[in-house]
């Protein structure tokens, strides 16, 4: 479904991606792990076409993302949950969720779009009373849920989750992880998640890819992750300050 071949990206003199190769099958949930600044977000943005890679090829369902003609139709296949939820402050919750359904090629009548938004909010555990509130009136966990509802509002084929549990308490993080897993399975969507949170990895992933030094260092099923003999992966999983990954003290 998603295929990256030898993807390079630099910002000025700083080389972020140095030949990323990764493939995610249809209906699979792949979690990309790695330290801060290793290029996880850049990889996602390259797949979405928000950032153009300097070299390499990215294909989504066989279509080259850099050569796609109809951007609207291309992006309509995706849903994305952003790290800070990225809800639009000026719009009430239901309009955030139904944003795609109120404009563009997927436009529906306003009443129908609101009904769908309320149904999606219910799916992520929020009542219809939340629909008319503004994002600033919600807690961090509720904002993540609204972001999740927005990501799934148009029933996308592919969903991206950028640090879905950052800033949440462990219980709320567990709830969000469970919700993500349930929704991805229920929708049959292909999911790519980037995170540092190992509890997310274990809850969400079918496959895990570790990004380090601008390349995929390890890639395999989540069940094989703990037994893998890769010192970089082991250090990351255990959170040890000692190991091949350099740390600042």
Partner 1 sequence: MSALITRPLALLGATVLAALATVGRVTRFALDAFRHIITPPFYGREFWHALVHVGYLSLPVVGLTAIFTGGALALQIYAGGSRFSAEQVVPQIVALGVVRELGPVMVGLMMAARVTSSIAAEIATMKVTEQIDALVTLSTDPMKYLTAPRVFAGLVTVPVLVAVGDTIGVFGGWFVSTQSLGFNPATYLQNTVDFLEPPDVISSLVKGAAFGVIATLMGCYFGMHSGRGAQGVGRATKSSVVAAAVLILAANFVLTQAFFST
Q: Does 166 bind partner 1 (CB under 8 A)?
A: no
Task: Write down the least CB distance from residue 160 to partner 1, Å.
Answer: 8
Q: Of the two residues 190 and 235, which places its CB atom closer to partner 1 in the complex?
A: 190
Work out which of 24, 65, 87, 176 binds partner 1, going by CB under 8 A. Answer: 87
- Whole-number Å distance between alpha carbons of 176 and 200: 9
Q: Does 145 bind partner 1 (CB under 8 A)?
A: no
Work out which of 12, 36, 89, 188 binds partner 1, going by CB under 8 A. Answer: 89
Contacts with partner 1: how many residues (CB under 8 A)?
25
Task: Write down the least CB distance from residue 97 to partner 1, Å.
Answer: 11
Q: Of the two residues 105 and 247, which places its CB atom closer to partner 1 in the complex?
A: 105
**Ordered DSSP codes for the chain:** -EEEEEEEEEETTEEEEEEEEEEE-TT-EEEEE--TTSSHHHHHHHHHTSS--SEEEEEETTEETTS-S-HHHHHTTEEEE-TT----TTS-HHHHHTGGGGSGGG---HHHHHHHHHHHHHHTT--GGGTTS-GGGS-HHHHHHHHHHHHHTT--SEEEEESTTTTS-HHHHHHHHHHHHHHHHHHT-EEEEEES-HHHHHHH-SEEEEEETTEEEEEEEGGGTTT---HHHHHHHHT-SSSSS----
Q: Does 63 bind partner 1 (CB under 8 A)?
A: no
Q: Of the two residues 26 and 71, which places its CB atom closer to partner 1 in the complex?
A: 71
Task: Write down the least CB distance from residue 201 to partner 1, Å.
Answer: 22
- Give the per-residue contact string, 17-56, with partner 1 (x = CB under 8 A; - = no): ----------------------------x--x-x------
Q: Does 232 bind partner 1 (CB under 8 A)?
A: no
- In what order do the strands lie in the sheet containing 2-11? 14-24, 2-11, 55-60, 63-64
- Whole-number Å distance between alpha carbons of 31 and 42: 15
Work out which of 11, 26, 52, 72 binds partner 1, going by CB under 8 A. Answer: 72
Q: Of the two residues 136 and 227, which places its CB atom closer to partner 1 in the complex?
A: 136
Query: Given CA atoms 97, 101, 104, 106 in this order, what sign does their dihedral have?
Result: positive
Q: Does 76 bind partner 1 (CB under 8 A)?
A: yes
Q: Does 104 bind partner 1 (CB under 8 A)?
A: yes
Stretches 7-15, 84-92, 200-208, 240-248: which one binds partner 1 (CB under 8 A)? 84-92
Q: Does 144 bind partner 1 (CB under 8 A)?
A: no
Structure tokens at 227: 């037994």
Residues that bind partner 1 (CB under 8 A): 45, 48, 50, 71-72, 75-76, 78-80, 82-84, 86-90, 99-100, 103-106, 150
């Amino acid at each position: 479904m998603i295929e990256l071949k030898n993807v390079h990206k630099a910002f000025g003199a700083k080389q972020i991606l140095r030949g990323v190769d990764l493939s995610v099958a249809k209906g699979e949930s792949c979690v990309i792990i790695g330290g801060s600044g290793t290029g996880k977000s850049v990889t996602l943005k390259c797949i979405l076409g928000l950032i153009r890679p300097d070299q390499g090829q990215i294909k989504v369902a066989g279509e080259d993302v850099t050569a796609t003609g109809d951007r609207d139709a291309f992006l309509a296949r995706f849903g994305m949950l952003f790290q800070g939820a990225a809800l639009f402050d000026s719009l009430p919750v239901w309009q955030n969720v139904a944003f795609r359904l109120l404009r563009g090629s997927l436009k529906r009548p306003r009443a129908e779009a609101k009904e769908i938004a309320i149904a999606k909010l219910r799916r992520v555990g929020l009542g219809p009373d939340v629909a008319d509130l503004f994002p600033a009136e919600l807690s961090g966990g509720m904002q993540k849920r609204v972001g999740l509802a927005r990501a799934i509002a148009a029933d996308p084929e592919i969903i991206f989750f950028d640090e879905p549990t950052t800033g949440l308490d462990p219980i709320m993080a567990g709830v969000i992880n469970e919700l993500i897993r349930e929704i991805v399975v229920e929708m049959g969507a292909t999911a790519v998640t980037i995170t540092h949170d190992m509890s997310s990895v274990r809850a969400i992933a079918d496959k895990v890819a570790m990004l380090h030094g601008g390349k995929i260092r390890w890639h395999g099923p989540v069940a094989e992750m703990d037994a893998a003999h890769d010192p970089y992966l082991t250090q990351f999983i255990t959170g040890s300050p000692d190991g091949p990954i350099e740390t600042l003290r």
